[in-house]
Structure 1
Amino acid sequence: MTDAIIKSYLRLFPLVAVLFLTACATRQEAPRAPVELPGEFTRAGQRDVPDTWWKSFDDRQLDRLVAQALEDNLSLRASYQRLRQARAVADRQGAALFPSLDATATAERQQTDTTDTDIFSAGLSASYEVDLWGRVQSLSEAESLRASATLADFQAAAISLSGEIANTWFQLVEQRAQLALAESQLETNENVLTVIESRFAMGQNNSADVLRQRQLVSASRERLSNIEGETGVLQHQLAVLLGRSPGQGDLPEDDTLPALPPLPETGVPAELVQRRPDLQQAWRVVQAADRDLAAAISNRFPRFSIEASISSQANDAGNLFDNWLATLAGNLVVPLVDGGERRAEVRRSEAVLEELVQEYGQAVLVAIREVEDALVREQQQRRRLQSLNDQSRLADTTYRQLRNQYLNGAVSYIDVLTALQEKQDLQRTILSTRQQLLTTRVALYRALAGSIDSVKTPENDET
């Protein structure tokens, strides 16, 4: 008898070996991004970029606004709930790696015309799928990777929100500075109008000069009104980003743009790929698709599960546990004919994986481009701001000289008016350019930023 059993096992050995070799084939090589990274960026500074990058501006009001937004912004809170959902799905899928155990208990009374019969029963049943080919493990890993991708997506949303806060705040501060400048320019233009009207009354000017100056005063008042409207809109935008109703709560009243910090250390593109949450998210999605493909391949192989149960039944509850019935069963399911359904699913999973690999490569290229674009724009805007400051000094000198010459009757008023308009236009343009330069630096920080540790994550969730 023993020899017969041994011979039976020996006959099964080739089949077992083939099955295990086939199982090894389900493990896929890790996908690689289809891009070649440059060795370094075109420019780099000396100061490291902190995760809380907005603190580089040394603006206490901005620090307070970003902290409030990371706590109260409703879109970020919704993103956090998506993260909790993803973690729950991963836990649910991971439960398939362990046996399931159910308990049952029933009490039944059967009545006839002559007798009443009580039936009591109780039992335990357990089931477990033996993960021969790694299908269950692959599905669990896929959901865990998707949860990690959602965490990275949450971090990317926090970085995006902090960038929106910084840009909106700088725009608001610039509009307030423009408002103060517009009020000063209106006062200047009204004073000049008083001088022109006095000279006209004495016959030293014609009426056209008065009309031109009045037109400039009217345009200055219109500009003042437009700036006030734009300031209100920006205040509403900032309030919503902070999780408040527009017009609710007090916002800081600062009207001075901060100085531009020194250029940060950009590092190398390979470090950027490891640091940026959006790229981490894209890579985790690729890894999850790779595990989905492994599961689809494994699904073409036989499945083996074990089921066990123990039960007892009696007419009296006191005798319920006297007699037990135990069963143990092994179930083997072998796919034979499915019309090519499983093979088609493997092809689909392969295509999905390749699509995500290409999208990841594109995201890497875009991330590198964002850093390079911000560096180029900042360099160009620095040169522009320097040129505007030089032009402003020259325009101020020109206006003063022409105004003196006009009062002495050496030039016409149209020359003075043109010089005054050019001077005021340059003053407004300088403010706008300073704000654009800060916005460009925000874009650079966002392109280089890593995870923000201060935002709420499941690791510190106490609910």
Structure 2
Amino acid sequence: MPRNRLTFQLIIFLGVLLMLFSGCRTQSDLTDPIEIPESFSESGVEIVPAKWWTSFEDKRLSTVIDSAMSSNFTLLTAWERLRAAEAVVDRESSLLFPTLEATGSARADRFSDSSRDSEQLQLGLSTSYEIDLWGRIGSTIDAEQFRAQATLYDYQTAALSLTAEITRTWYRLADAQNQLALVNEQINTNLTVLELLNNRFEIGQIQSVDVLRQQQLVEATREQRTYAEARVQTLEHQLAVLLGQTPQSGVDLRPEDLPQLAPLPSAGLPTDLVQKRPDVRSAFASLRAADNDLAAAISNQYPRFSISASASTAAESAGALFEDWAVSFAGNLLAPIFYGGELRAEVDRNEAVKNQRLYEYGQTILTAFREVEDALIQEKKQVESIESIERQLELASQSYRQLRIQYLNGSGNYLDVLTALDDIQQLRRDLLTAQLTLVEYRISLYRALAGSFETEMIAENN
């Protein structure tokens, strides 16, 4: 048997033998870092849709959010980050296939003695392939795939956060418009009272100090209008930027009023929340990526085996280029012996990163549970707060009516009337603010319970 044939068969045998170990990975079992509770403290019966903001039954809001899904720059940035992560997966997956390269060269030598002129043409192909011993390459690819999954969940989290921010801004704008309308109404009321006091002062029924106090209330209410007008405009600017527009462009759609809240949504089971919240799923995917990085680092301490082959032809003319071929085949075994502790240190580093991702995953779960519980208790207590403000407003109105009658009959002090009127106006403004806060707590609850939803970009790329 020819010697080169024996060498070739020996290399093939060694390669097949080593391939039997291919795919052997050293990964650990991943368990939940915390004990998942059986249920939340409270729960309703209303099922939250994937597009949770539709629960407000506000078509204008839905139109604004649909527009932002394709124009918000923060969300577009998250999408490009996802595309980059998917490209990394494709890049690492290419290591599972052999590389193939073509070479070519041409050389011409010219001398004063033309009989010595020469030409040299050369073409060649070369290929190499690393057999994935111990699953190092496979673990690296899996790690990048999990990182790409985490990036997808991060994109979905960004989309959810954007919808929540737009919805909050939308209803804050509605509240600002309501506050402005209320303040204008209160200014008119205070001016009417001021005119009445001026008439009474002219006929000597009251003192000038009562007129001055009422004028001060008018100016204080006008100050409230200045603040309300500024708030309306800044919220319009904020909404425009969320839609990917300049603040100067303004917004075409504006809210009409605060929504009537649907019944309390069903909180579901904590285990279901862990499985559907994209930020929790992202943390778990990052943990699995770190686990595969650790497996790749461990496998990197073991020998590597690669196969390479090449074929080339050379001639002095194009016609004779393919008459003679040189073929080579080689097997290469690389076994790390001494790296000064570098490989072991890389294993230790990846193990620490994996533990870090494990703790981050646990903290993300705890944060998700806290957000649900916080939103539930905040909404419950805010309802009680609104009821208290409404009772205070009713009592203040009764006090104002009685004090005003006493004052008009000449048996009361106008300062008491003025204080009662100011209390009523402030309570009415506080009631609007409290109603907005209740809506914001419901938004927080929907956001805390929501899973991912399909955006137009995801639908187009599936």
TM-score range, shorter chain: over 0.9
AA paired with 2:175?
E
Q: Could you report, residue by residue, the CA deviation over 1:281-316 in whole angstroms, capped at 9, with x for unpaired residues?
A: 111111000000000000000000000111111111
Structure 2 residue 287 is matched with structure 1 residue 294: no
**Are 2:76 and 1:106 equivalent residues in the alignment?**
no
Q: Give the Cα separation in 1 of the matches to 2:440 and 2:395.
A: 27
Partner of 1:428: 429
The CA deviation string for residues 345-365 of structure 1, in whole angstroms up to 9 with x for no partner, is 111111110111011101110
Which amino acid in structure 1 is aligned with residue 320 of structure 2?
A: N
In structure 2, C-alpha distance between the alignment counterparts of 1:141 and 1:298, rounded to whole Å: 14
8 Å CA contact 1:158, 1:455 repeated in 2 = no
CA deviation profile, 1:141-172 (whole Å, cap 9, x unmatched): 11111111101000100111111101111111
Q: Which AA in structure 2 matches 1:286?
A: L
Using the TM superposition, give the Cα deviation of residue 255 of structure 1 relative to its aligned residue in structure 2, in angstroms: 4.0
Bigger CA drift: 251-260 or 50-59? Answer: 251-260
Once the two structures are TM-superposed, the CA of residue 124 in structure 1 deviates from its matched residue by: 1.2
Alignment of 1:231-242 (within 5 A): 231-242=232-243
State the distance in 2 between where 1:397 and 1:247 align: 46
Total equivalences in the alignment: 449
- Say which is worse superposed, 326-335 or 43-52, in terms of deviation: 43-52
CA shift for structure 1 position 23: 7.5
* 1:237-264 deviation per Cα after TM superposition (whole angstroms, max 9, x unaligned): 1111110000204332434111112111
Structure 2 partner of 1:404: 405
Are the counterparts in 2 of residues 30 and 290 from structure 1 also a CA contact under 8 Å?
Answer: no
Secondary structure of the 1:263 match is coil
Q: Deviations over 1:330-378 (max 9, x none)?
A: 0000111111111111111111101110111011101100100000100
Structure 2 letter corresponding to 1:188: T
1: CA distance between counterparts of 2:255 and 2:421?
A: 28
- State how 1:3-402 maps to structure 2 within 5 Å: 24=24, 26-114=25-113, 115-402=116-403
Unaligned 5+ residue runs, structure 2? Answer: none
Q: How far apart, in 1, do the equivalents of 2:410 and 2:248 lie?
A: 53
Distance 1:72 1:180 in 2: 32
Q: Give the Cα–Cα distance (whole angstroms) in 1 for the partners of residues 80 and 172 of structure 2.
A: 31
**Residue aligning to 2:460:** 460
Write the letter of the residue equivalent to 1:406. Y
Distance in 2 (alpha carbons) for counterparts of 1:306 and 1:22: 15
Question: Residue 249 of structure 2 aligns to a residue in which SS?
Answer: coil
Q: 8 Å contact 1:395–1:423 — kept in the other structure? A: yes
- 8 A Cα contact 1:32 1:357, kept in partner: no
Residues 235 and 247, structure 1, Cα contact 8 Å, conserved in 2: no
On the 8 A contact 1:185/1:220 being kept in 2, the answer is: yes
Measure the CA separation in 2 of the matches of 1:332 and 1:267.
56
Identity percentage over the alignment?
46
Q: Which amino acid aligns with 1:403?
A: R
Q: Where has structure 1 moved over 6 Å in runs of 4 or more?
A: 19-23
Partners of 1:90 and 1:147 within 8 A in 2 = yes
Give the structure 1 partner of residue 418 of structure 2. 417
Preserved CA contact (<8 Å) 1:371 1:447: yes
What SS is found at the alignment partner of 1:45?
A: coil
Superposition TM-score, scaled by structure 1 size: 0.93
Give a deviation string over 1:91-146, Cα, whole Å, max 9, x none. Answer: 10111011111112222212334322121111211110000110000001111111
Give the 3-state SS of the residue equivalent to 1:71 in structure 2: coil
SS in 2 for 1:410: coil
CA distance in 2, matches of 1:259, 1:134: 57
Deviation, structure 1 residue 405: 2.6
Partners of 1:400 and 1:168 lie apart in 2 by 37
Is contact 1:122-1:312 (8 Å) kept?
Answer: yes
Distance 2:109 2:449 in 1: 75
**Secondary structure of the structure 1 residue equivalent to 2:70:** helix
Deviations 1:11-70 (A, max 9, x none): x99xx79x978984x421232231111110111111111121111111112111111111
C-alpha separation in 1, matches of 2:254 and 2:303: 70
Q: 1:286 to 1:179 in 2, by over 3 A?
A: same
SS in 2 for 1:313: strand
Equivalent position amino acid for 2:125 in 1? L
Q: Distance in 1 between matches of 2:139 and 2:41?
A: 42
Maintained 8 Å contact 1:23/1:298: no
Quick check: 383-392 or 357-366, which moved more? 383-392
Partners of 2:273 and 2:220 lie apart in 1 by 48
Hey, what's the Cα distance between the residues in 1 that align with 2:155 and 2:146? Answer: 14
Does the 8 Å CA contact 1:48/1:265 hold for their aligned counterparts? Answer: yes
Q: Distance in 1 between matches of 2:38 and 2:180?
A: 46
Give the distance between the partners of 1:258 and 1:455, measured in 2 at CA: 27
CA contact (8 A) 1:174 1:255 kept: no
